[in-house]
Structure 1
Amino acid sequence: MFDGRSNTRRVAVATLTAAALVALSACSEGVVDSGGGGGGDGDSPEVTLTLVTAAVESTPNAAVQDWFLDELEERSDGRIAVERTEAYSLCDAPEIAECVRDGRAQIGVTIPDYTPEVFPSTSVVSIPFLGQNWQAIMHSLHDLHVNNADAQAQMESNGLHHVATWPVGRLLIGSNEPVSGPDDLSGLSMRVSGPLMQQLFENKGVNIQAIPAAEAYEAVERGIVDSMAAGMDFPVDYQLREVLSHWTDPGIGQYSSFGMWMQLDAYESMPEDLQQVVDEVAAELSSGVGAQEFNETAAQQCPPMMEAENVEELSAWDESVTASWEDETGDTLQDAWVDLATEQGLENAQGVLDDYLAGLEEHAVDVDDATLACIDEFQNS
């Protein structure tokens, strides 16, 4: 059966342009200085940044990414240019952080859970039951990496300048049999992302398989897994609706994230006024625009689910079932995150968590949730 996302990846690799290769070679030592005077009068850009990404075109994550890149070029009056490569074309998703750190690219976008040891300060998103509000999470994570010295130091110690981190969407469970509560999870073989989410599901008897998103469809076809715990991207953009017929929201909320960062040397080598442009655009993205861009695109994922012949269920667990599972779990996974982040080198992990929680409360605003809206539409159809 056709795997649209995997095919996209293969085509992207096969059609890598000569221009991208030239840019990659030129950028290997950091920011490209093309020698131009900069400005918007047709001059060459002062700096050219190569992007490597795991955000596939037309997905909500790509919409967030692209707004930042477009605004970066526009607000710098053409002094900054971004060489945009296709998803997975120069570096595979788990390799993107290293590609940026070693200078093969200067902007990276991928899932931090693929290299969790590099991003302990952003993995707070993965603490189950902790975050339901998409906008509050993104805003709090931005503040954390601007105002919390420990989070900032951790990012810089890995040679990165934090731009933004945003949730990938509410977690759905996809399977070929109904899953109406935690007890139905036992015995499933499931693709789950993130160590804390994996621990939560393992405690209910799930056989966890860590599989990159682009390989998820094939993993179901080959019988490596029989279920998914993932966002709406998976049934829609990764085509999993073709092979898994039942999708349900267990109420865990936002569970994983996409991150965007710049190579620290590239950022610091920019003139101060261009650094200010980067930071101003990043702040605006995280304070509301990101949620708008994400949800506008995420809303477009609903029609394919509504029209899918194979999808028999798109539902949500009863709130009491979720609450019972959360009560049973208690604070154990918050404590587990502190221990894990500390092991990964984050100083004062408890203080980072406290600041994150305070940010969630401070920045909580009413925002649309395209997944919940789609569930309601499916239930009422």
Structure 2
Amino acid sequence: MATTDEAAVVPYKKYEERTERMLKKRLAQLPAALCITAALTIGGVTQASDDWPSMNITFSSALPQGGLNLAFEWWADELERRTDGAITTSRHYSASLMGAGATLPALARQRIEAGYMAAAYFPGEYPLWNVAGVPFQTSDPVAQVRAFYELYQENEAFRAEWERNGVHLLVLQPLPHGIMGSREPINSVDDLDGKRLRMVGYVAAALEELGVETVGLRPEELYESIQRGVVSGYGAWPFDLIPVSALHEVAPYHYDLGFGHYASAAIGVSKRWWDSLDPKVQDLMTEIAEEFMFEAGMPLIVQMEENACDRILDHGGSVTVFSDEDIATMEELVGSASVDRWLAAATERGIDEQVALDFREQFLAKYESHKGEVPYESGARACAAR
């Protein structure tokens, strides 16, 4: 299997000055009470000069460095800087420590302190969170993050979902749109019929309504599976992660099907470990997490998407956006299949049907209330225009 293209990994420090300028601009738009707190983090000033406890945080991810690990990398670097090196991290990528499915039990047992998690990895353990996998419902990264983060604070059933798994939700990763990749060109919706694609989550139900045979594969298996012809591509993948995972090498044709977000991703930490921390440490960790989610993360992700476009086009690949007509056709064909499958799975796992429906309604209402607060243009659509 080919190794990750190092040029595709964009370290956050390269964009630190840009992020600081953006933060200062956003501060001017915040209420005064929020500015007082946020200003303490600008320019590397920590909130206190007290000594911090010395500790090392072990982090595991099944994905390569960069990409969807950006949230942890930024958070961890900031944490080390603001504690003068007292709190450090050991980072394990590409399933070098454990596979994606082992992350949740490892967090619950405190074998690791932090891990990358995607809702679709754990449908049985996180039935409510997996509403993120329903297509045609969200397309604004920060609005999606804000909706889930607020529900974690306010919705008893959603918070209980995390707590019974022994995990504290630390950082939600803003996600670009889910992009389909294929070994062969696809010219219309009809060309999807008969394709065999890697897909997890409830977008799979949508693709199956279009005649696609979906296959569940772990992220670390995907490159080789496409290379060997086990699958002809993947059904949805974050645009910025495509070259980080080197998938453009084996599936050069990329398509925005108009599904919007296909999932939600987060950094979870062991609740047992979290509860043992000094409240002052918890407050600093939360402050940095919120700064990434609501302020610093999007400029970095936009830059990652621009970088992804460069790598894909330089490698001879293409990016195509399906027409509004094709997207409307797909949405009509899919109907309620994805929502129905999500609701059935949630109730099978013990969630009351009305609780599940209320949760989705609250999620979409919160999403709509935050939509457009941070301007965003899909990197895939911008790339297609090139």
1:333 is the counterpart of 2:342: no
1:181 is the counterpart of 2:192: no
Q: Post-superposition shift, 1:233? A: 4.9
Q: Please list every run of 5 or more consecutive structure 2 residues that lacks an aligned counterpart in the other structure.
A: 7-47
Q: Normalising by structure 1, report the TM-score.
A: 0.81
CA gap of 1:221–1:81, structure 2 versus 1, over 3 A, is closer
- Residue 203 of structure 1: aligned partner: 209
CA contact (8 A) 1:188 1:207 kept: yes
1:307 is the counterpart of 2:306: no
Letter in structure 2 aligned against 1:245 = P
- Residue 35 of structure 1: aligned partner: none
Q: Post-superposition shift, 1:192? A: 1.1
CA contact (8 A) 1:137 1:166 kept: no
Letter in structure 2 aligned against 1:214 = E
1:294 is the counterpart of 2:293: no
Alignment map for 1:180-329 (pairs within 5 Å): 180-194=187-201, 196-231=202-237, 232-233=239-240, 235-309=242-316, 311=317, 313-329=318-334
1:149 is the counterpart of 2:156: yes
- Residue 98 of structure 1: aligned partner: 105
- Residue 45 of structure 1: aligned partner: 53
Alpha-carbon distance in 1 for matches of 2:152, 2:337? 25
Q: Please list every run of 5 or more consecutive structure 1 residues that lacks an aligned counterpart in the other structure.
A: 8-38
- Residue 4 of structure 1: aligned partner: 3
- Residue 373 of structure 1: aligned partner: 382
Q: Normalising by structure 2, report the TM-score.
A: 0.81
CA contact (8 A) 2:153 2:159 kept: yes
- Residue 365 of structure 2: aligned partner: 358
Root-mean-square deviation (CA, aligned residues, Å) is: 2.5
CA contact (8 A) 1:167 1:254 kept: no
Alpha-carbon distance in 1 for matches of 2:152, 2:52? 32
Alignment deviations for residues 228-286 of structure 1 (CA, whole Å, 9 cap, x no partner):
22323564222232232322211111112322111111111111222222222222222
CA contact (8 A) 1:113 1:193 kept: yes
CA contact (8 A) 2:319 2:384 kept: yes
Q: Post-superposition shift, 1:361? A: 0.7
Q: Count residues with an aligned counterpart.
A: 340
CA gap of 1:89–1:160, structure 2 versus 1, over 3 A, is same
CA contact (8 A) 1:135 1:288 kept: no
Say which is worse superposed, 365-374 or 133-142, in terms of deviation.
365-374
Find runs of 4+ consecutive structure 1 residues off by over 6 angstroms.
none
CA contact (8 A) 2:134 2:339 kept: yes
CA contact (8 A) 1:122 1:165 kept: no
Secondary structure of the structure 2 residue equivalent to 1:354: helix
CA gap of 1:264–1:235, structure 2 versus 1, over 3 A, is closer
Alpha-carbon distance in 2 for matches of 1:295, 1:148? 31
Letter in structure 1 aligned against 2:255 = T
Say which is worse superposed, 228-237 or 127-136, in terms of deviation.
228-237
Q: Post-superposition shift, 1:79? A: 5.0
Q: Post-superposition shift, 1:6? A: 11
Alpha-carbon distance in 2 for matches of 1:166, 1:85? 18
Alpha-carbon distance in 2 for matches of 1:218, 1:249? 23
Alpha-carbon distance in 2 for matches of 1:285, 1:173? 27
